[in-house]
Structure 1
Amino acid sequence: MQYTRLGRAGAKVSRLALGTMNFGPVIDEEASYAIMDRAVEAGVDFIDSADVYGGRPWGDLPGQSEEILGRWMQERGNRDDLVVATKVHGSMGTRPNDRGLSALHIRAAVDASLRRLGTDRIDLYQMHHIDREVPLDEVLSAFATLREQGKIIYLGSSNFAGWHLARVQEIAAASGYPAPVTEQSVYNLAQRVVELEVVPAAAEYGMGLLPWSPLASGQLGGVLAKSDRSRSSLDALGARRPAIERYEEFCGELGIRPGVVAIAWLLRQPTVTAPVIGPRTIDQLDSAIEALDVTLDAETLAELDRIWPGPGGPAPEAYAW
């Protein structure tokens, strides 16, 4: 396993983060335990969750994934070996203050996550989405209080635009509040819009990028070559199908599975700390781990850019002189 710093923070984490979104609603507790056991055996120490995982649209029990992770850590007795991340923002109930980033909800949400996880602190507590109705100084003040109380160690963001990252960093610098050290965004070969402003902003402020959906919901995992593919899954490829056909052909020429290439490509991208993988099987987990040993040369990277062209670089040069 390879390790790197968590953005500009001093802590180090594995180059792969194990996402737990599927734990509970998609795979049962026994299968979830097996995946976590295998991940730790391979050296993964970075585990990512969210308070809403297990709830809609995944299932009917928000908090279920945190609970499974919490029980596993208690049974294995390995909490201190792990860097545990979770998130706050999504709806956890029907009351007006059961969602968002108000100081009121953040205070209730962190205590609930700590109970479900069976731990005394969250190593990386992430804002799951921007909340346009709450002033950022209120949000950052609430997180500062949590850090003073020892309930969280580092702060992160998720699904923020580039200008959101800049605003929160500047407000934090002016006020002395803790600033986010990571941003978790959708990022993969087929979805590269974050290269316009999110990636440059993260680099400017020393934030580590945690790409979610590294296989574009499975479309980069060899979907055309799978014998169990359904007609609906192929129809869902839409306008991407020609690129996926060329991509799978190219991966065949390389002799490397498409999912491995996709994650290896992300590991080469500036500011990326760790792709967040969400395996449903041990084989999918092992495929992601395999990517750590893959080196993509300049010619291969150039061909991947031809198949999956990005936005043309950072803004404004991507669309202006």
Structure 2
Amino acid sequence: MKYRTIGSDPAHRREVSVIALGAMLMGSRTDEKTSFAVLDRYVEAGGTFIDTSDNYAFWEDGGQGGQSEELLGRWRRSRGIGDEIVIATKLGARPLAPGTSYVDNPEGLSAKVIRESSERSRERLGVDKLDLLYAHIDDPATPQRETVEAFAALVAEGTVGLLGVSNQAAWRVERARAIAAASGLPGYEVLQYAHSHLRPRTDVPDDMFPDGSLGHAGPDLITYLRAEPGLTMVAYSPLLKGAYVHPDRLPADFDHPGTPPRLAALHDVARETGATVNQVVLAWQLGGSLPIIPLVGASSVAQLEETLAAADLELTSDQRARLDAAH
């Protein structure tokens, strides 16, 4: 396994594995025995960066979420896991009542929610400190200063280490970071957005973000990432939920003329390297100029093994140039 550092403050920055493991469906769709086996193998292989959220997986049982955090808490206790494993979680998108969703009834990012939800996450995970805490979605109804100050207060108290943000417009991220910087407060240092080799259209809605696909790392976000060397992006859905292997799963926002040439380039490089298309996608993310950590879920140890092998796949400069240029 290879590693990279996230965060700039020496007091809070962490070295993490270059591939993060997503625990979204652990404790719900993925049963406990399988989840523990995947987690054990990930750690055995040198993995140190696990991702969850307080709302995972509310949609599986019509509840409010928390299953993934609870499972990770049981796994940590049963294995004697300490702070050598970085666990990131999120808040802001937990539905306020069973049977509702983050679209119409989210908890939001008020100071009260940030404090209370982070406390519940710490309890479920069984930790005194959250290594990395994200603002999961935007909350236009709450003043950004209130959100920024509430997150910073948790860092000052020592119950949170690094701060991150997900699924917000680049200008909103910059505004929040500017507020923090002007006040001498810690700001967002890790960005979590959907990112893969295939590029989505941005003029059509997707299922997760019907109001404009803000979950995707679009050109504005990528430009911002390039301009801010202290930031790291954690890329969720890098394998498009299996669509590289099962094209019928490709979301509608990837149905455009630019997709076939990029798929063809991926398959060409996969044949040349003897790797799978999924591994080529991950290697392309890992070896690029941007600080990207792919976040990959696994419902079996076999799936995880394919992912782990991507960390050792080195693409040539010619292969990378062809992958970049295809459009």
Report the TM-score, using the length of structure 1 for normalisation: 0.86
Of 238, 241, 245 in structure 2, the residue corresponding to residue 217 of structure 1 is 241
Give how far 1:233 is off: 4.0
Q: Deviations over 1:109-136 (max 9, x none)?
A: 0111111111111000000012111111
Q: 1:32 aligns with which of 31, 35, 56?
A: 35
What is the CA–CA distance in structure 2 between the aligned matches of 1:252 and 1:63, rounded to whole Å?
A: 41
Comparing 236-245 with 251-260, greater Cα deviation is found at: 236-245
- Give the alignment of 1:143-162 within 5 angstroms: 143-162=151-170
Pairs within 5 Å for 1:157-236: 157-191=165-199, 194=217, 196-205=219-228, 206-220=230-244, 222-223=245-246, 233=249
Indicate which of 87, 91, 101 corresponds to 2:90. Answer: 87
Please tell me whether residue 41 in structure 1 is matched to residue 44 in structure 2.
yes
Distance, in Å, in 2 between the alignment partners of 1:168 and 1:73 is 33
**Percent identity between the two aligned chains:** 34
Tell me, what secondary structure is at the counterpart of 1:290? Answer: helix
Q: State the secondary structure of the residue aligned to 2:115.
A: helix
Q: What SS does the corresponding residue of 1:275 show, helix, strand or coil?
A: strand
Partner of 2:207: none
Secondary structure of the structure 1 residue equivalent to 2:47: coil
CA RMSD of aligned residues (A): 2.3
Deviations along 1:210-257, whole A, 9 cap, x unmatched? 00001112112x336xxxxxxx64797855467546633542243210
Distance 2:167 2:243 in 1: 21
Residue pairs, 1:12-161, within 5 angstroms:
12-56=15-59, 58-61=60-63, 62-94=65-97, 99-161=107-169
Which ranges in structure 1 are unaligned for 5 or more consecutive residues? 225-231, 310-321
Amino acid at match of 2:94: S
Contact 1:202 1:271 in 2 (8 A): yes
Structure 2 counterpart SS, 1:47: strand
- Note the residue ranges of structure 2 that are not aligned, 5 or more in a row: 99-103, 201-215
Cα 1:235–1:36 shift into 2, 3 Å: closer
Q: What secondary structure, in the 3-state scheme, does the structure 2 residue paired with 1:126 have?
A: strand
| Contact residue 137 and residue 166 of structure 2 kept, 8 A | yes
- Alpha-carbon separation, structure 1, partners of 2:62 and 2:130: 24
Aligned to 1:5: 5
Aligned to 2:309: 290
Q: Is the 8 A contact 1:8 1:208 kept in 2?
A: no
Corresponding residue for residue 272 of structure 1: 291
The amino acid that maps onto 1:28 is D
Q: Measure how far apart 1:195 and its partner are.
A: 5.4
Instruction: Show CA shifts across 1:239-282 (max 9, x none).
Output: 54675466335422432101100100110233324211111111
1:55-85 superposed Cα distances (whole Å, 9 cap, x missing partner): 12x4434000000001000111112221111
Contact kept? 1:264, 1:295, Cα under 8 Å: yes
Q: AA paired with 1:284?
A: Q
The size of the alignment, in residue pairs, is 299
- TM-superposed deviation, 1:185: 0.7
TM-score, reference length from structure 2: 0.84
- Aligned partners of 1:98 and 1:105 also within 8 Å: no
